[in-house]
Structure 1
Amino acid sequence: MDRPLLAALIFDESMAPDPMIAAVLARHPGLRVAGLLQSPAREGDCDCRDLTVRDLQTGAVHAITQNLGAMSRGCRLDGGALAELAGGLLRALQSGPDLLILNRFGKSEAEGGGLRQVLEEALARGIPTLAPVNPRHLALWRDYAGDLAEDLPCDAGALENWISRALRPAKICP
């Protein structure tokens, strides 16, 4: 693959891919990056694990989970919050960033929701896109991406290599 446009950064529960991604991006100060990095947050006296994302263009932090109560066993992702974030990212893609970072590819995206529309718009515009993928969603990712994507280990060197290849100008056949 000459100029890869899509990659999954494979991580497991023992890894936190977002700080590593942030560290790699910090080594590229001129890089125009759109997307979101995820971090856990705690609010008040809630023992549940809440998630927030930081917008890489604006620095704004947004909650993406909702408190459904202590006895809840369902998905806590806030579909409304994800829809708002998707709208902002779609607007950000119009400015032609060099790279898009999705906070995750999971069940929501596999089912056509979440940030899937953002991913597809980035690909249509030729914007290289990185999506961290937990192994429990790897089959969903591969069903979606097929041969268009490559898998990367959760490693700074692998990510650096992918970024350098993805940002190379596309070869145009005569």
Structure 2
Amino acid sequence: MSLSPLAAIRFDQDDIDTFLDGIAKVLTARGLKLRGAMQTRGAMGGECHCADMDLSTFGSGRTFRISQPLGTGSRGCRLHPGALAECSAFIEQELRQGADLLILNRFGRGESEGRGFRDLMVQAIALDVPVRPTYVQAWSAFSAGAGCELPMDQDAILNWFRAVQRARHAA
């Protein structure tokens, strides 16, 4: 098993958010301090055909609306880059207060293009906080061989985290 502080979970189910939330609950129950955010979707309705998207942070529970209404004729991405940047800056401040693990629900288009949570991931690495970020080639380029891929299996992820945590404390 790699002791990389970066791990991407290749998910084979649509509901990665519920899966990661379960892992977060296990680790929080063990007294660990988590940072990061989970995406949730609101009800579909209004003038757009898509549901609202929110990011709720671990620890503080603060919610950021990261979608924006673009109207009924819109076919493009509704992601609100400013709101995502605000959430990222908030999480970075929380990281500086200490963390055992940073969990982010996606390494997507924004991160692959150098935006989104990319700078936050770099900051976590600088602070020696393990990161979990589906852009496979962009992830490989970003992690530059220092990242590993984990299966969508709770035991495998918890074992990876335990091994990274032991290595951090032994250093």
Q: TM-score, normalised by structure 1?
A: 0.87
Structure 1 partner of 2:8: 8
SS at match of 1:147: coil
Q: Amino acid of the residue matched to residue 168 of structure 1? A: R
Greater relative CO, 1 or 2 (CA 8 Å, sep 6+): 1
* 8 Å contact from structure 1 (residues 39, 53) kept in 2: yes
- Cα contact 2:81–2:116 (8 A) shared by 1: yes
SS of structure 1 residue aligned to 2:93: helix
* Count of aligned pairs between the two proteins: 167
- Mapped pair 1:34 → 2:35: yes
Q: 2 CA distance for matches of 1:140 and 1:49?
A: 27
Structure 1: runs of 5 or more not aligned: none
Deviation at 1:19, TM superposition (A): 1.2
1:72 alignment counterpart: 74
Give 1:80 shift.
0.6
Q: Which amino acid aligns with 1:95?
A: Q
CA displacement, residues 7-43 of structure 1 (integer Å, 9 cap, x when unaligned): 001125x421111111122122201000001122225
CA distance in 1, matches of 2:61, 2:44: 20
Among the aligned pairs, what percent are the same residue? 35
- TM-score w.r.t. the length of structure 2 is 0.89
Between the aligned partners of 1:159 and 1:98, the Cα distance in structure 2 is 14
